[in-house]
């Protein structure tokens, strides 16, 4: 289990009864969380004082509504180390980041800095670009791919807020599978690949993505564009009824000729409480498998 204790602009404050209470910057937010099956530790008054509560459809991929305690700005700034980014309330209960990915961000940045050579990173299904910005800030040349023009626009806002406009990042709106296949035909390779696909999605031209159907081919395509001395491939999967053993065996089979090591498990957030003392309960958010070439 890889855990994140949060950082200055994020904390999991409490969880229970199918919901979680989090702090994003200066805002406290309540969202549905099926994995939070225990009881709440904080008083009801703390939960009721939240700035925003997501209501409506509790399916991770379904739309819903936000209920605000007061008038809030459309966006608000946050930071992760030297990387700045904007929070934004979306109809799919997300606010622009998945904080448990901190465990991968730290690991990836260490790999990039430790390489002591030019490193090319490909971020597929890159969303609002935090992983791309962390990689670029660590010294990598980054190619960021997402099917949503809106997400890429948000990512570029985050780049400007981070003052990383001078970093070599290519922002590409494309179907991830088609892009990787073209890169293979072109003979382009990467030292690191981040693969964070949704359970279901559509490309910019209506291409359909189904995780269980399309992931094996995507991993095989990624194998073809890993550089001979590649550093890593990270696969994360959210909101699916599967064991991390499934993704572990997929990577083990596909990359068997590459050597290196594969570790798999779950990403989890650690409950911090109002005092930020940490050491609370662990909340599993997703499964992961990551291959390290060196």
Give tens-digit pLDDT for 123-148: 999 999 999 999 999 999 999 999 99
Provide, rounded to the nearest whole percent, the portion of the chain with pLDDT above 70.
Answer: 96
Of 224, 220, 263, 227, nearest to 245 by C-alpha is: 263
Sign of CA dihedral 130, 73, 18, 57: negative
The CATH class of 2-88 is mainly beta
Q: Do domains 2-88 and 99-292 have the same CATH topology?
A: no
Tell me whether residue 102 is exposed, middle or buried, using C-beta atoms within 10 angstroms of its C-beta: 0 to 12, 13 to 18, 19 or more: buried
Instruction: Kindly state the tokens that stand for 170.
Output: 């290519």
Domain boundaries, the chain: 2-88, 99-292
pLDDT at 59: 52
Q: What is the CATH number of domain 99-292?
A: 3.40.50.150
Higher-scoring residue by pLDDT: 91, 156:
156
Pairing of strands 282-292, 261-270: antiparallel
pLDDT digits (tens, 9 = 90+) for 36-87: 999 999 999 999 999 999 986 555 555 578 999 999 999 999 999 999 999 9
What is the pTM assigned to this prediction?
Answer: 0.94
């Amino acid at each position: 289990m890889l855990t994140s204790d949060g950082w200055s602009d994020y904390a999991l404050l409490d969880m229970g009864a199918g919901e979680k209470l989090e702090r994003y910057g200066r805002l406290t937010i309540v969202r549905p969380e099926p994995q939070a099956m225990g009881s709440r530790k904080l008083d009801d008054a703390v939960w009721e004082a939240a700035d925003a509560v997501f209501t409506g459809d509790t399916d991770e991929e379904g739309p819903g509504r936000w209920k605000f305690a007061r008038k809030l700005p459309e966006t608000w700034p946050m930071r992760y180390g030297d990387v700045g980014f904007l929070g934004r309330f979306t109809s799919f209960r997300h606010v622009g980041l998945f904080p448990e990915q901190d465990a991968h961000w730290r690991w990836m940045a260490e790999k990039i800095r430790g390489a002591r050579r030019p490193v090319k990173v490909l971020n597929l299904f890159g969303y609002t670009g935090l992983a791309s910005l962390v990689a670029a800030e660590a010294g990598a040349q980054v190619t960021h791919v997402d099917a949503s023009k809106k997400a890429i626009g948000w990512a570029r806002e985050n780049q400007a807020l981070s003052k990383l406009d001078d970093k070599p990042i290519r922002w590409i709106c494309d179907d991830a599978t088609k892009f990787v296949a073209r890169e293979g035909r072109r003979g382009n390779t990467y030292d690191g690949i981040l693969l964070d696909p949704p359970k279901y999605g559509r490309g910019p031209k209506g291409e359909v993505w189904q995780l269980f159907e399309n992931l094996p081919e995507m991993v095989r395509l990624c194998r073809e564009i890993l550089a001979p001395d590649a550093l890593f491939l990270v696969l994360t999967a959210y909101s699916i009824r599967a064991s991390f053993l499934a993704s572990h065996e997929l990577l083990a089979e596909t990359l068997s000729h590459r050597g290196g090591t594969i570790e798999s498990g779950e990403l989890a957030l650690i409950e911090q409480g109002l005092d930020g003392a940490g050491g609370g309960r662990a909340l599993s958010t997703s499964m992961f498998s990551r291959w390290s070439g060196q």
